[in-house]
Chain A
Amino acid sequence: MEKSLVINPDNCTGCLQCEMACSYENEGVFNPSKSRIKVFTFHQEGRFVPYTCTQCADAWCQQACPVDAISLNLVTGAKEVNESSCVGCKVCTISCPFGTINYNQSSGKVIKCDLCGGDPKCASACPTQAISYVDADQTGLDKMRKWATETDHASTNTPANA
């Protein structure tokens, strides 16, 4: 059974443990600005929303890549960036309608969530279960995935996690 990240913003307290864990796991530093998951703050409402890639079935990033640098991990369902092939052209960053693949100026490559190979550190670091990693069919189709199909009627894939 494939698993996926489920985000429940109502539980998020804005502690940023997820960003710390992510940047440490992937970049070797505790630096939220290098995290692949981002917590957005709605100041007026005092609300926090963690946000990252849903590994959508359409894989806009993968399709747009001109050099075959994004591939599907068949075990986790994650779309992963192959650092050695990525040329840093950034076309994936404008193609992903969720804005979840970003350019990292210091490496000259793009970065995105790869589910840490099946053990996402953001989920284990989250003290309030705002982020959890659970069996895919428990999550239901989240709104974002629904949106993905609405933005393009051309989907040839059945959702990878369905």
Chain B
Amino acid sequence: MQYIIVGAGPSGVIACETIRKLNQSAQITLITGQSEPPYSRMAIPYFLEEKITESGTHLRHNSEHFSSLGIIVINEKVNAIETSKNFVRLADGTELGYEKLLLATGAQAVSPPIDGIHLDNVHNCWTLEDARNIASKAVAGSSVVLMGAGFIGCIILESLLKRGVNLTIVEMGDRMVPRMMDDTAGGLLKSWCESKGVRILTSEQVTSINDADSSDQKPLKVNLKNSPALPADLVICATGVKSNIDFLKGSDIAFDQGIIVNEFLQTNIDNVYASGDVAQGLDFSDQSWHVQAIQPTAVEHGRIAAINMVQNNSCKHHGSINMNILDTMGLISTSFGQWMGIEGGQESILLDKKNFRYLNLQFKEDCLVGISSLGHTQNIGVVRGLIRGKVKLGAWKERLMKDPSRLMEAYLASL
């Protein structure tokens, strides 16, 4: 059997390894679309803060890893897919035939269409190449403007500060990480950051960027909607991402925001599957189909898609739980599932503003359906277990309504 996996992020890599585990004789080809060995975007913040070097970002550290598993790695991009003839066409024109195909092409950063967004010192922070550029320009004492205080913006914030830059964050929404935190938590996070010397402009927008006049000290001028312009050495744009589906135009693979898949991560074409940031997969919480764009989902998809490719749709995906953990200069926040609550649900909240601690549990009847937290990390994974297992909390629901911090006890009592 000939398997082709397109994309060498966590999703594609886990998929290759899983296929190999299940089928010793399969021919497996991994097409990476990049010049580097398979690496992890998630490791970029740690590369920026110089905790690791480039090789520390690699998804697998042993350089023989793929060859020892008999996986052929091709550092090319796929330009087109011909599903009626079962081949992919690479950028260099080569055509490669497959029997089963997995599309794990991930996502790319998107920038707002404003003047100056393509200037030299304006970068996204999504690829290793972006990270190299940022590392060379975000030097101590430089002024950096970060556009976007969403998850990616927030996760690189600490590494930028550790590089010794003067940081200003411009966020369109009215709080930080609006898709992971409510007003209370987002507000607390903002004041935490401000207490550490970061300037955060919420409900603000960059309208354009231009090269500064020769009289200015900084090369860039970042123009804002409601405030005076900011001088900057570097602008980092972390305003959003979109699935890499452009190469599918002209093929008959169906996509919307991402590639449309069923509960086996199979596309509308029987022998083509999709996984990770490019797949519009099932959300466990509300059983809707959308791109979650997180690492745990990418690996879960990769593994399940691989099993289904080898074992004929024997493994149903019951949906992934959206979840995030963020460390902002020592303040650790998390969110899981329906942290924003559901209609007719109940909530239990513990707030200690002074110590930046917050715990917000959301219930549907006596099951936990989501949480958000600040400053709670011990045994935090049980939240996934409780949500995923739809564990009936029984008497513990009332106890948690009174004191949400007893989560771990509630969990143990359910075992």
Enumerate chain A interface residues (CB-CB to B < 8 A).
38, 40, 42, 49, 51, 60, 63-64, 66-68, 85, 87-91, 93-103, 105, 108, 143-144, 147, 150-154, 156
Contacts and interface: CB of A to CB of B under 8 A. Distances in A.
Given A67-B40, A101-B381, A147-B385, A93 B299 contact: no
B317 A154 contact: yes
B379 A87 contact: no
A99 B303 contact: no
Contacts of A150: 389
Q: Which among B51, B61, B307, B381 has the highest number of chain A CB atoms within 10 Å? A: B381
Q: Which among B59, B325, B330, B334 has the highest number of chain A CB atoms within 10 Å? A: B325
B72 interface: no
Given A94-B336, A99-B382, A99-B383, 17 more contacts: A40-B408, A40-B412, A66-B10, A66-B295, A67-B59, A67-B61, A88-B327, A89-B42, A89-B45, A91-B42, A94-B325, A97-B381, A147-B385, A152-B300, A152-B318, A152-B388, A156-B307
29 contacts: A38-B379, A40-B412, A66-B10, A66-B43, A67-B40, A87-B56, A89-B45, A89-B325, A90-B325, A91-B295, A93-B380, A94-B296, A96-B381, A97-B381, A97-B382, A97-B389, A98-B381, A99-B380, A100-B379, A102-B379, A102-B380, A103-B332, A147-B415, A153-B315, A154-B307, A156-B18, A156-B21, A156-B22, A156-B303
B307 A85 contact: no
A153 B316 contact: yes
B140 interface: no
Nearest to B323: A94
Given A42-B413, A91-B296, A144-B415, A67 B384 contact: no
Contacts of B412: 40, 42, 49, 51
Q: Which among A60, A85, A87, A91 has the highest number of chain B CB atoms within 10 Å? A: A87
A143 B324 CA distance: 27
A97 B356 CA distance: 25
Contact of B384 (A66, A88, A94): A94
B58 A89 contact: no
Contacts of A97: 381-382, 384-385, 388-389
Contacts of A147: 385, 389, 415
B57 interface: yes
Contacts of A152: 300, 318, 388
Given A63-B14, A85-B56, A147-B389, A100 B42 contact: no
A94 B389 contact: no
Nearest to A147: B389
Given A63-B14, A154-B303, A68 B381 contact: no
Contacts of A99: 378-383, 385, 408, 411
Interface string B357-389: 000000000000000000001111111110011
Contacts of A87: 43, 46, 51-52, 56
Given A91-B325, A95-B381, A99-B380, A64 B295 contact: yes
B15 to A, nearest CB: 11
The 6 closest A-B pairs by CB, nearest first: A97-B385, A99-B379, A99-B382, A66-B40, A99-B381, A96-B381
A102 B336 CA distance: 17
Nearest to B10: A66
Interface in B322-348: 323-325, 327, 330, 332, 334, 336
A63 B21 contact: no
A93 B384 CA distance: 10
B64 interface: no
A102 B325 CA distance: 12
Contacts of B336: 94
B137 interface: no
B408 A105 contact: no
A103 B58 CA distance: 22
A102 B378 contact: yes
Given A90-B327, A93-B325, A66 B59 contact: yes
B304 interface: yes
Contacts of B57: 67
B409 interface: yes
A68 B22 contact: no
Contacts of B295: 64, 66, 91
Contacts of B330: 105
A144 B59 CA distance: 29
